[in-house]
């Protein structure tokens, strides 16, 4: 771990942009036929918060 980072980094784990993470979450949600409200209920989040991920 470096002094400038509080999280360890690994070459084996690529970093995702916020947009890429949102696309990944949306694809996973749709593949499982879940609504944003259903995902929010499972995670303890509102549908509005899930829509902003």
* Statement: residue 27 has pLDDT above 90: yes
5 domain residue, yes or no? no
What is residue 9's predicted lDDT score, i.e. its pLDDT?
60
For residue 36, the enclosing domain spans 18-51
pLDDT at 39 over 80: yes
Token output for 3: 């002094």
Q: Is residue 22 part of a domain?
A: yes
Residue 27 lies in a domain: yes
pLDDT at 5 over 90: no
What is the predicted pLDDT for the residue at 18?
85
Is pLDDT at 48 greater than 80 in this prediction?
A: yes
Burial 3-41 (b: 16+ CB within 10 A, else e): eeeeeeeeeeeeeeeeeeeeeeeeeebeeeeeebeebbe
Number of domains, the chain = 1
Q: Does the model's pTM come out above 0.85?
A: no
Is residue 12 domain-resident? no
User: What's the pLDDT score for residue 13?
Assistant: 72
In a domain, 39, yes or no: yes
The answer as to whether 24 is a domain residue is yes
């Amino acid at each position: 771990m470096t002094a400038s980072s509080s999280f360890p980094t690994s070459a084996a784990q690529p970093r995702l942009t916020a947009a890429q993470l949102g696309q990944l979450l949306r694809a996973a949600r749709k593949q499982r036929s879940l609504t944003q409200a259903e995902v929010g209920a499972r995670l303890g989040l509102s549908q509005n918060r899930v829509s902003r991920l």
